[in-house]
Chain A
Amino acid sequence: MKLDNIYQEEKKSNFAKVAEIIITMASRPSGFIGLSILIFHVVLAFISPYIAPYDFKAINPTLMLQAPSAEYWFGTDDLGRDVFTRTILGGRTALTITFFGSLIALLWGGLLGIFCGLVGGKTDDIVMRIVDAFLSIPWILAMLLIVSLLGTSTEVLIPALGFFYGKGIVRVARAATHDVIAKDFIVSARARGHSNFSIIWNEIIPNVRDAILVEGAMRWSWMLLGFSSLSFLGFGVSPPTPDWGLMISNARGLMSFAYWSVIAPIVGLSSLIIGINLTADAFAKALGIDRSTKAPV
């Protein structure tokens, strides 16, 4: 049979599947740029403590607001600290907190969404009303409240951010589940008498996983922006830890005469967000998913 050779496609290992997706992503220019930026930032976050030329908290009044020079590549800030050092270190906290925050958002949002989609009926109605109610609270106010009550430690920020950014994922997961459970293969599994757990694990998750992952990646960049806004308002990372949001906030008054102290963290933050966005976009395209959520930038 001629068809056999053409349609022979061996079952691939998971590793091979992931590799294939990444190659597909990188084969598009936008995906390639996005991936490169993201990888650059992640690598930088790992190695920056070892390559930083100066101590990020060393205050030196004599070196206040130096313009960029061979010695201080990005100049210094109002306390005489090296802006280059602080910029390359400034993404670490944000990246870590939002990465774990997104994982939490994915987990609870995804599972609750699938659950609601599967059980339907009253339970689904009630849960979705509650989620909607939460959606209607401006998240930044709620975050400010939580942070002012519980402090700005990582243990508070990660779950709080994860919670607020998971709501969108609930919707996506629920909608994707709804599409899937209408299919006959679910009916068939039910009629055979599989348990709900087995149906979720074997039938639903493989079919909604991609949509949820893409949404999660998108939420990551939203969360990054949100987290930086918190820092900007003084509710995120506490000084003197270097952080882009905080740096922008501190230096914004100096923009007119010491532009360097604000431009570096802005470039850092925006490039990371753009990088994640492009990657998420390419990821969605590589998986063949139509995305409804828009990127923050």
Chain B
Amino acid sequence: MTEIIQKVKNLSIGFKSKKGEEILILRNITTNIKKGETVGIVGESGSGKSTLALAMMGYVKHGLYTIGGECEFNSSNLLKMKNRDLEKIRGRKIAMIPQNAGQALTPNLKIGYQIDEALQLHSDLKEEEREQKISELLNKVRLPSPETIALRYPHELSGGQQQRVAVAMALAGTPDLLLLDEPTTGLDVTTQAHVLELLNFIAKDTGTSMVYVSHDLGAIAQVSDRIIVMYSGEIVLEGPSRDILKKPIHPYTYGLLKSIPKLSLAGLPQSMPGSQPQPGTMHRGCSFFDRCNFSEEKCKNNSPQLEYLEELKTSVRCFNYKSLMNDSQVNQTVNKIKTSLQDKEILNLSEVSISYAKQKLLDQVLNRISDDNPTVKDININIKKGETIALVGESGSGKSTILKSIAGLLRTKGGIIKFDQDRNLSSDLKERDPNDLRIIQLIFQNPDESLNPNHTVEEIIAQPLKLYFGLKGEELKKNIIDLLQKVRLGEFYMSRYPRQLSGGEKQRVAVARAFAAKPDIILCDEVTSALDVSVQAAVLNLLQQLKEDFGTTYIFVSHDLAVVRAISDRVAVLYQGRLCEVGPSKDVYQFPSHPYTEVLLGAVLEPDPDIKPKLVAEDIVEEKPPQKGCSFQGRCSRILGDICKNEVPPWQITNSGNSIRCHIPLKELQKDQIN
């Protein structure tokens, strides 16, 4: 039997509410981490996964306290240890990489210096040895030319590189256990795939045990040997990674896997109703009862215990797992999306360019924008009424920038935005008349930010109704109730404040507000990325339903290619503010592809241990688009040479109407991609 390095026994952590009730964040957690294994802890926000990871290094967040149980490391209970003793363990024996670790680097100290500090603190190496160790560590995390990287400052590195430095620092003390809290969330897809691959390598190479906490089953699937699924502060399922992902025997995991959009499937995944109960609201019965498709009468009042199944090496917390054991291959069914596409053109962008460059004084005085290499350039898109078009790309691709200009929030440098074939829309809000403003509405990424915390739901939805239609009194109220029903929220939500709603409910309110204006076009800016996985599908389904009812056109910006695949009719791929590929979504997701699309598709993480990401290009990030030639030349693995550097590639159109902008002829593009 392999050695166990961390034992969590009956751990409960919670806080005291204002009323003096004890509210549990973690309920009776028992699990072991073995030497050399990577354990993925997956759960939605509020499931207690981060609290558990922190407890594993003897840390309990301010305001929380240990109610019972222990975290045993090297046969001593971390939660009872004195700070002085804990300091000896943290960094040396147990290291942690938090989310946004890159941003946690001290900005004014050189990378090498910071690693050296970590070495001095966590190891007994002498000076010469440390010097060597620094390059060794940087080498290990595969940073190019460690000698030069060591002399750089954090801001001179890309997000992915910073994350690697953070990994290097965590490895400085040669820890036995490495805790990673959402280490790749917030990184671009291609970078994410690279970092995960690196972590896999390190786990094998050093034999360090890792605990990988994430909400993203796709990322977890790539690294974990074992998966722990948490729900509402409890472990509901724990077992070997492959079994959990392929044959989940807990209804929650089963539903979750069904609700995640897949690259291989067009159409909307089934959604899971409801949302996770808030801590403290669960008193009796199974915490998943409200949302469970397999529930029985007894689940309502009896809490299932975690049951260990010897033959599967799996623990499950459900009365009914047997009914899932037989047919639990996750056969995903999707609701095919109906296109309500009409021939009428509703929005046309022609030759749009946008510049972020700071303008010279003269240009400011003359109120013009001059920049010969603007951030966004040559955008020509024709959008049909009733269509859902998605703009995809990594950060810096200009996708949100274009959205802002369409909304009138960012002045364009040149080009024309035309509505309904004949109305020119200025990219400056002040020059648009109220009706122009009404026809285009925005839904934002994070409903926490897009809803005023001091307004009730009623006030929030009333705003556009009052502004555009001058509604008052009973009529206003009737309209609000109507809209709430459309987004499947009851009338009683009117008097609530955003903080009293769950993430999914908040986003529904934001959707209701957008539809209140009776717009023709809705701009969706990463609308599902701040939501929990189980809620995401429900919001996508809602958007689709509303679109079918109202014939609205969506312009959908996302970095998540699987989500885009699920909902969009057409996709436009952007790199450095230039279009690379535009076409019907089923064709964009097939070959031939633009080399950049290929990179993006390859990097998508699917919750399936058999689908590994393909790492085609380097995960470097470019600051600025190249002056001339193809926008992707800096990272393209198939670059042809001077022609790509000097000449803007031509648009090539495939048989199915997919446009690809590359110098490589279509036939050849396809040939290599199929191999």
Give residues in A with beta carbon < 8 Å to B: 1-4, 6-11, 183-185, 187-194, 202-203, 206-207
Contact of B277 with A207 in the complex, beta carbons under 8 Å: no
Contacts A184-B444, A185-B449 given; indicate if A192 touches B455 (C-beta within 8 A).
Answer: no
Instruction: List 8 additional A-B contacts (Cβ < 8 Å) besides A8-B492, A190-B409.
Output: A2-B277, A183-B450, A188-B513, A190-B429, A191-B437, A192-B467, A192-B468, A202-B455
Contacts A7-B500, A11-B456 given; indicate if A185 touches B451 (C-beta within 8 A).
Answer: yes
Q: How far is the CA of A206 from the CA of B451 in the complex (A)?
A: 13
Contact of B451 with A11 in the complex, beta carbons under 8 Å: no
Contacts A2-B281, A3-B278, A184-B449 given; indicate if A206 touches B454 (C-beta within 8 A).
Answer: yes
Contact of B281 with A188 in the complex, beta carbons under 8 Å: no
From residue A211, how far is it (CB to closest CB) to chain B in Å? 13
Q: How far is the CA of A8 from the CA of B500 in the complex (A)?
A: 8
Contact of B463 with A189 in the complex, beta carbons under 8 Å: yes
From residue A195, how far is it (CB to closest CB) to chain B in Å? 10
Question: In chain B, residues 390-423, which have Cβ atoms closer than 8 Å to a Cβ of chain A?
Answer: 407-409
Give residues in B with beta carbon < 8 Å to A: 277-278, 281, 290, 407-409, 429, 432, 434, 437-438, 440-442, 444-446, 449-456, 463-464, 467-468, 492, 495-497, 500, 513, 517
- Specify which of A3, A8, A185 is in contact with B277 (CB 8 Å cutoff): A3
Residues from chain A with Cβ under 8 Å of B437 in the complex = 191-193
Of the A-B pairs whose beta carbons lie under 8 Å apart in the complex, a sample of 28, sorted by A's number, is A6-B278, A7-B278, A8-B492, A9-B497, A184-B444, A184-B445, A185-B452, A187-B442, A187-B444, A188-B444, A189-B463, A191-B409, A191-B429, A191-B437, A191-B441, A192-B437, A192-B438, A192-B463, A192-B467, A193-B429, A193-B432, A193-B438, A193-B467, A194-B463, A202-B463, A207-B452, A207-B453, A207-B454
Contact of B444 with A192 in the complex, beta carbons under 8 Å: no
Q: How far is the CA of A17 from the CA of B252 in the complex (A)?
A: 40
Residues from chain A with Cβ under 8 Å of B445 in the complex = 184
Q: How far is the CA of A188 from the CA of B524 in the complex (A)?
A: 12
Q: Which 7 A-B pairs have the closest CB atoms?
A: A206-B454, A184-B450, A193-B437, A184-B444, A184-B449, A11-B495, A185-B452
Residues from chain B with Cβ under 8 Å of A206 in the complex = 452, 454-455
Residues from chain B with Cβ under 8 Å of A193 in the complex = 429, 432, 434, 437-438, 467
Residues from chain A with Cβ under 8 Å of B454 in the complex = 206-207
Contact of B500 with A9 in the complex, beta carbons under 8 Å: yes
Residues from chain B with Cβ under 8 Å of A190 in the complex = 409, 429
From residue B526, how far is it (CB to closest CB) to chain A in Å? 11
Residues from chain A with Cβ under 8 Å of B277 in the complex = 2-3
Q: How far is the CA of A183 from the CA of B437 in the complex (A)?
A: 20
Q: How far is the CA of A194 from the CA of B408 in the complex (A)?
A: 13
Contact of B464 with A192 in the complex, beta carbons under 8 Å: yes
Best-surrounded residue of A2, A9, A192 (most CB of chain B within 10 A): A192
From residue B566, how far is it (CB to closest CB) to chain A in Å? 24
Q: How far is the CA of A134 from the CA of B468 in the complex (A)?
A: 44
Residues from chain B with Cβ under 8 Å of A203 in the complex = 452
Contact of A185 with B450 in the complex, beta carbons under 8 Å: yes
From residue A46, how far is it (CB to closest CB) to chain B in Å? 34
Contact of A183 with B449 in the complex, beta carbons under 8 Å: yes
From residue B534, how far is it (CB to closest CB) to chain A in Å? 16
From residue B295, how far is it (CB to closest CB) to chain A in Å? 14
Q: How far is the CA of A194 from the CA of B465 in the complex (A)?
A: 12
Of chain B, the residue at the smallest CB distance from A203 is: B452
From residue A66, how far is it (CB to closest CB) to chain B in Å? 54
From residue A281, how far is it (CB to closest CB) to chain B in Å? 20
Contact of B453 with A7 in the complex, beta carbons under 8 Å: no
Best-surrounded residue of A3, A4, A11, A193 (most CB of chain B within 10 A): A193
From residue B371, how far is it (CB to closest CB) to chain A in Å? 19
Q: How far is the CA of A189 from the CA of B408 in the complex (A)?
A: 12
Residues from chain B with Cβ under 8 Å of A188 in the complex = 442, 444, 450, 513
Of chain B, the residue at the smallest CB distance from A183 is: B449
Q: How far is the CA of A202 from the CA of B454 in the complex (A)?
A: 9
Contact of A7 with B496 in the complex, beta carbons under 8 Å: yes
Residues from chain B with Cβ under 8 Å of A207 in the complex = 452-454
Contact of A187 with B409 in the complex, beta carbons under 8 Å: yes
Q: How far is the CA of A187 from the CA of B496 in the complex (A)?
A: 22
Contact of B442 with A191 in the complex, beta carbons under 8 Å: yes
Q: How far is the CA of A203 from the CA of B454 in the complex (A)?
A: 8
Residues from chain B with Cβ under 8 Å of A8 in the complex = 492
Contact of A4 with B492 in the complex, beta carbons under 8 Å: yes
Q: How far is the CA of A235 from the CA of B245 in the complex (A)?
A: 80
Of chain B, the residue at the smallest CB distance from A6 is: B281
Of chain A, the residue at the smallest CB distance from B454 is: A206
Residues from chain A with Cβ under 8 Å of B432 in the complex = 193
Q: How far is the CA of A2 from the CA of B289 in the complex (A)?
A: 11
Q: How far is the CA of A185 from the CA of B407 in the complex (A)?
A: 14
Q: How far is the CA of A190 from the CA of B451 in the complex (A)?
A: 13
Residues from chain B with Cβ under 8 Å of A2 in the complex = 277, 281, 290
Q: How far is the CA of A2 from the CA of B274 in the complex (A)?
A: 12
Residues from chain B with Cβ under 8 Å of A11 in the complex = 456, 495
Contact of B408 with A191 in the complex, beta carbons under 8 Å: yes
Best-surrounded residue of A7, A188, A190, A207 (most CB of chain B within 10 A): A188
